[in-house]
Amino acid sequence: MKKLSVLFLCLIVSFSLRGQETKGVVFDHGTLSEILLKAQKIKKGPKMVFVDCFTTWCGPCKYMSNTIFPMENVGKYINANFLCVKIDMEQPEGKEIAEKYKIRAYPTFLLLDVDGNEINRLLGSSEAEEFIERVKKAVDPGNSPKARKNIYDSNKTFENAISYLTALEETYMTDDLQKFTEEVLPTLPLEEKYSDKMWPYIALSLNDPKSSIIDLIMNEKLIADQYVGKERLDKVICKGAKKYIGYYLSERIQNPDNEKFVKCTQYLQLLANRDATAEYFVKVSKLYTENKIDEITSLLNVEDLMSLSAQDENIVEDMILSIKGLPMEKRLGYLKAKAEFYNKQCELAKASIERYSKNNN
C-alpha cells in the first residue's frame, strides 16, 4: 500500500512538472531537417516551423529564452501555430543555416513552411505581447519581403518601392536591400530620389564601400545638395569615401575601381578643413599610389594621433594599420609605443591623485 502511495505521488509530481514545462514555448529536439519532416507528416496541428537562431553570447537571445518563451501566453500562441526548434548558429548545423538563409544578426526567428521555404523572419528581442503581434504580422503572406517585391514588380510606384525596402530593413536583409537600392534609385525622379523616405536607404548604401550609389550621388551632388542639404550630404559621403579608401588600401575590394578611389580622395581633400581625419586619408592615399610605405609608417606617430579625438584616432589608426604591405614590425612598434604612452598617462594620473589626496588631508 505504501509503495502504491509513493508511486501515485510520483505520477502526480511528474504530470505537474510536465504541465509547467508546456506552459511556455515547446522546442523540439532534433535538426531542422527532422523538424521539417515531422511538420510534413502531421495531419492535424501546426503546419509552420519556428526557428530560434541564437548564439550563446547574445544577450537578447538569452532574454527571449529565459524570460519571454517560458510565458504562458507566448507558448499558447506559438505552440498552436508552429513546431519550434532552437539552433545555435555557431555549431555546424547553425553555420549552414546562417549561410542558407543569410542570417546576419541575433536573435533571428525564422518562420518557415514545411518545405523549409522562408515565410518571413523577425529580428531582436521584444516583450511578450509585442512579440506575439510581431509574429502574427509576419505570418501574413502580404507582409513578407517576397510579397512586397512581387507587389512592386507588378506596380512600380515609389510607395511600393519604399514598402519593399522597409520590409528588407525590418528583416535585416542588407544584401537584398543594397541591391534593390542600387537598382531603383537611378529610376526615380529627383523629388522622390532625395526625399526623406528614400534618404535613409541612400545613407545606408553610401556607407557600403562596395555600393555604386556613391558614384551616382557624387555625379549629381550639386543637385542632391538642394534636396538633402549640403552639410547633411557631405557628412554621409565623407564617411562612405573613407570606407572605400580604407577598403582600397587594404585590398579588401575585388577589382578595385581606381577612378572611384581618385574621386573619393579628391572629395575628402575638399573637406580637409572641416574633418580632422580627411587630411590623413588624402595624404596616405597619395603616398600609397607612389608606393612610399616608409613615409606612411612615419604617420604612425603616437603623440600626433593621440591629439585627435578618441573616435578620430581609431579611424586613422585602423586605416593605416590595415594597409596592405605595411611591415609587421612597424605595426607592432606603433602599438608598443601607444601602450607606453597610455602607461605614462596612467602614472601621471596616479601622481595627480596622490598629490590631491595629500593636499586635502
pLDDT bucket at 361, cuts 50 / 70 / 90 = low
**Residue 294 pLDDT more than 60?**
yes
* 61 tagged catalytic: yes
How far apart (Å, rounded) are the C-alpha atoms in residues 294 and 298?
Answer: 6
- Of 135, 14, 37, the C-alpha closest to 80 is 135
pLDDT band at 85 (very low <50, low <70, confident <90, very high): very high
CB of 151 within 8 A of CB of 175? no
Residues 6+ apart with CB under 8 A from 281: 241, 242, 245, 246, 265, 268, 319
> Catalytic pick from 10, 53, 58, 84?
58
Q: Cα(359)–Cα(361) distance, rounded to whole angstroms?
A: 6
pTM above 0.75, yes or no: no
Q: Are 299 and 334 contacting, i.e. CB atoms less than 8 angstroms apart?
A: no
User: What digits encode the pLDDT tens for the residues 61-81?
Assistant: 999 999 999 999 999 999 999
- AA identity, residue 328: M
Q: Which domains does the chain have, with CATH numbers?
A: 21-139 (3.40.30.10), 171-347 (no CATH)
The residues, any chain, with a CB within 8 Å of residue 242's CB and separated by 6 or more, are: 264, 268, 277, 278, 281, 315, 319
Q: How many Cβ atoms from other residues are within 10 Å of residue 329's Cβ?
A: 9
| pLDDT tens-digit series, residues 86-129 | 999 999 999 999 999 999 899 999 999 999 999 999 999 999 99
* Model confidence pLDDT, tens digit, residues 267-286: 999 887 888 899 999 999 99
Say if CB 61 and CB 55 are below 8 A apart: yes
- CA dist 84 and 39 (Å) reads 10
CA distances from 186 to 192, 204, 215, 241, 242 (A): 11, 16, 11, 20, 23
Say how far apart CA 334 and CA 299 lie, in whole Å. 10
Average pLDDT over the chain reads 88
- Backbone φ and ψ for 23, nearest 5 degrees, come out as -65, -40
- The label of the residue with cell 537600392 reads 181
Share of the chain above pLDDT 90, in %: 61
Nearest partner of 159 among 198, 132, 131, 103, judged by Cα: 198
53 has catalytic annotation: no
Given a cut of 60, whether residue 9 has pLDDT beyond it is: no
Catalytic residue among 53, 61, 84, 264: 61
Tell whether the model's pLDDT for residue 45 goes beyond 80.
no
Separation CA 112–CA 51 (nearest Å): 8
